Each structure stands twice: as C-alpha cells, then as structure tokens.
Chain A
C-alpha cells in the first residue's frame, strides 16, 4: 500500500449535510471536486492522495539507481519506461489532490520538509540487479493489491487516476518477475542473488499494507467514506496467497519459515513483519530515509532556475504578444 497510516481527520460539519453525503456514497455515487464534502473527507483525502503521489515520485529513486547499470540495453529501456511511468503516476495523483484545493507546490514542500510521508518501502536500498527484479515483482505487486480496489473509491478524480495507474501497473510487476526469473534460472551465483533479494524485500513488502488491523486506528471512517476499501490485513493476506506460488515457481526458498498452507482458513499462514522496525522507518530511521529526502530536496533546488526561467520566458512571450495585438 502506497498510503500507510493515513490519519483520518475529525469532521465538524452539519449533521444533515453529513447524512446526505453518506447516502450519496452508499448509493455508489462519485463525489466530484465542486460537490459539498465534509472537511474531514477533504483533509484525509489530501493526505492520502498526497502520500500516494509522493510514494510514486520517491519510488523512482531506488530503481533509477540501476538504470545506468542494467545488464542489457533491453533491460535498461524497460526499466527506464517503468520509472517514467512512476513519474506519470505521481503526476496523475498530484492533479487529483489539487482538485481538493491544495496547490502542487504546497504538496511538494510538505514532502520536502517531512510534514508529509511516502511509503516506508522506499527507504530500503536496492543493492544489486536482483533487487530491481524483486522490487518490480513484490513492491509493485503489493501496490496493485491496494490500487485495484481503490479504482472504486468514492472521490471521482482519485478513482480516475487509479484506473489509469492500474492499466499501466501490470507491466511493472511482470517485468520485475521476468527479470528475477532470469536470475533464478541462471548460474548458482545469480540464483543466490535472487534468493537474497526476496529474503530482504519480503517483510518490507508486507509492511506496505500498514499495521495490523487491531492496531490500525484510522480505518473505520475511511472505509465508511469508501476512500479505503479493504482492511490492511485482508490485503496483506491476499498478497501472501498470490505471491507464495510465484516464489515456489522460481524454485526459491520461501523467505519466511512461518509460511504454511492453512487448510481450515483456505489461506497461507505467515509471520507478521517486525512492527517496531516499521515504526522506526516511518519515524525516519530506515536505511535510506535521509538519502531519499536529500535527493528530492536537491532535485527541487537544482531545478529552481529551470522552473523560474521557463515561467519568465512564457510571461515575456505573452506580454510581447499582448503588446502586438
């Protein structure tokens, strides 16, 4: 899940309007930007969509790290296209958030100064090429689990952004699986790298869905408003059930000895991730938190003259055109 622990905002609105709003949502109507909405709905969604957008943007960093070192020209072109998609996904989502009255620059500044978060997963490093395969397969796989139901979310612009994103996301997961499969079927050394990547990224991928339902305090209101469709544990279980056979197909060992088919439940049992690690990463103490934010800040600062220059040029051109008319 690209949006973790989104704090829901209390709402202090006219109860009659609130009830009518809830009825619209229950009828399955989409809420559009100019429609009346509770303040809590607006604020929670800005936080959720913003966090989702930031995750797409920061998510380019661990993969961008390997573009120049991809093993073949074809893999390089594929990875480049994938990372470019992530930029696009970030832009779709920023636009959806902006329809709620927050500006792009405000969102950017909140990311850069740490007021807004991005997914914990991107604070883990990509140490080698096998990690790139594992990220596409596991991380994008986990993201898809969350994003597919969000296509039905109640806020129109968010739903439409998710539909576009889901259309493109399947390519991401498949290229990742294809890359790691090549290694799993390669030399013993390559297979070892693939195994190591799966072992390291498994639990961080499970953390993407957010804390266990019993510790997830913000779900209820969000589910009522249909800005969250499934609980964290539901999605996590679905991800485990889908991924275990994919690991087995590769001939790799399962990354968690606790994974066992539970006949009674009809699901795989698995070990919960170490939640103290999760909260520590969220707090800023993951392996790459400092690097990621520094890279985003540097890109923003280094790009300032381009943004200003292009705007000044556009204004000058417009003024000249105006004078000629």
Chain B
C-alpha cells in the first residue's frame, strides 16, 4: 500500500481526426511507463493512434451534488437550439 504505483487515467485517440477519449485507468510508476502500459492494456487491437496519460490525482471533477447549479441554467434556454426558430419553407435551407 505504501509503495503502490500512482493511478493514471488513460485517454486514447481512436482515429485521426477524432478527439482523445477516456478509456480507463492503470497503475504505473511514471508517465513514460503509463504510456507503455496503456499501449498494452488499451490498444491491443488497433484501438488507437495516440495516447494521453494524466495522473488521476491531477484531475479535478465536479461532484454529483452540483448537478443543479451547473446544468439547470441551460434547461431554460431552449432558444440556443436551432429548432426553436420557425423558418418559412420558402426561405429554403438554413
């Protein structure tokens, strides 16, 4: 326990042009080894073209209790969606 390798969160770019996506985590002594281990654990079947690793304790996360203050304000702003506006058919594609 005292000597456990730190936990790293792994992000993989699946294909060129896509963004990196969180795929899981693993333990490694440092970033270099984390990338090597991520190669073995998360890309055994060509799942990636690029790997990011971030030490898990460097990630700050919102908490479930903040759901209201964080996301409720956007619920009342339906005009942010294009379907809010009626555009006459004669105007054509918009």
Interface residues of A (CB under 8 A from B): 32, 34-36, 81, 84-85, 88, 91-92, 95, 98, 103-106, 160-161, 164, 168, 307-308, 310-311, 313-314, 317-318
Chain A contacts of B61 at CB under 8 A? 34
Docked-complex contact A308 and B33, CB < 8 angstroms: no
Chain A contacts of B33 at CB under 8 A? 310, 314
Top 3 closest pairs, chain A to chain B, by CB? A314-B30, A314-B29, A310-B29
Docked-complex contact A311 and B3, CB < 8 angstroms: yes
Docked-complex contact B44 and A88, CB < 8 angstroms: yes
Chain A contacts of B5 at CB under 8 A? 307, 310-311
Which of B19-27, B74-82, B86-94 lies at the interface?
B19-27
Chain B contacts of A314 at CB under 8 A? 29-30, 33
Q: How large, as a class, is the contact surface on chain B?
A: 10 to 19
Pair count A-B, CB < 8 A: 53
Docked-complex contact A84 and B4, CB < 8 angstroms: no
Docked-complex contact A88 and B41, CB < 8 angstroms: yes
Residue pairs across A and B with Cβ atoms less than 8 A apart, 15 shown, are A34-B61, A92-B41, A95-B7, A98-B7, A98-B25, A104-B27, A105-B1, A105-B4, A161-B24, A164-B24, A310-B33, A311-B3, A311-B29, A314-B33, A318-B30
Cβ of B17 within 8 Å of any chain A Cβ, yes or no, is no
Chain B contacts of A84 at CB under 8 A? 40, 44
From B4, B29, B45, B63, give the contact of A313 (CB < 8 A): B29
Bound Cα distance A95, B29 (Å): 16
From A34, A95, A307, A311, give the contact of B64 (CB < 8 A): A34
By beta carbon, the residue of chain B nearest A88 is B41
From A36, A95, A161, A307, give the contact of B26 (CB < 8 A): A95
From A81, A95, A103, give the contact of B1 (CB < 8 A): A103
Chain B contacts of A85 at CB under 8 A? 44
Interface of A is mostly: helix
Docked-complex contact A307 and B3, CB < 8 angstroms: yes
Chain B contacts of A81 at CB under 8 A? 44
Chain B contacts of A318 at CB under 8 A? 30
Docked-complex contact A308 and B3, CB < 8 angstroms: yes
From A32, A95, A103, give the contact of B25 (CB < 8 A): A95
From A88, A104, A160, A168, give the contact of B4 (CB < 8 A): A104
By beta carbon, the residue of chain B nearest A96 is B24
Chain A contacts of B26 at CB under 8 A? 91, 95
By beta carbon, the residue of chain A nearest B33 is A310
Bound Cα distance A224, B61 (Å): 29
Not counting A104-B27, A168-B45, a sample of 16 additional A-B residue pairs whose C-beta atoms are within 8 angstroms of each other reads: A32-B64, A35-B64, A88-B41, A92-B24, A95-B7, A95-B26, A103-B1, A103-B4, A104-B4, A105-B4, A106-B1, A160-B24, A164-B24, A310-B30, A311-B29, A314-B29
Bound Cα distance A311, B30 (Å): 8
Docked-complex contact A95 and B30, CB < 8 angstroms: no
Bound Cα distance A72, B40 (Å): 24
Chain B contacts of A308 at CB under 8 A? 3
Q: A98-B7, A105-B1 are in contact. Are A34 and B63 (CB under 8 A)?
A: yes
Chain B contacts of A160 at CB under 8 A? 24
Bound Cα distance A310, B36 (Å): 14
CB distance from A151 to the nearest CB of B (A): 15
Bound Cα distance A92, B45 (Å): 15
CB distance from B29 to the nearest CB of A (A): 4
Docked-complex contact B30 and A36, CB < 8 angstroms: no
Docked-complex contact B24 and A95, CB < 8 angstroms: yes
CB distance from A303 to the nearest CB of B (A): 12
CB distance from B77 to the nearest CB of A (A): 24
Q: Which of B18-55 contact A (CB under 8 A)?
A: 24-27, 29-30, 33, 40-41, 44-45
CB distance from B34 to the nearest CB of A (A): 10
Q: A34-B64, A314-B30 are in contact. Are A91 and B41 (CB under 8 A)?
A: yes
Chain B contacts of A106 at CB under 8 A? 1
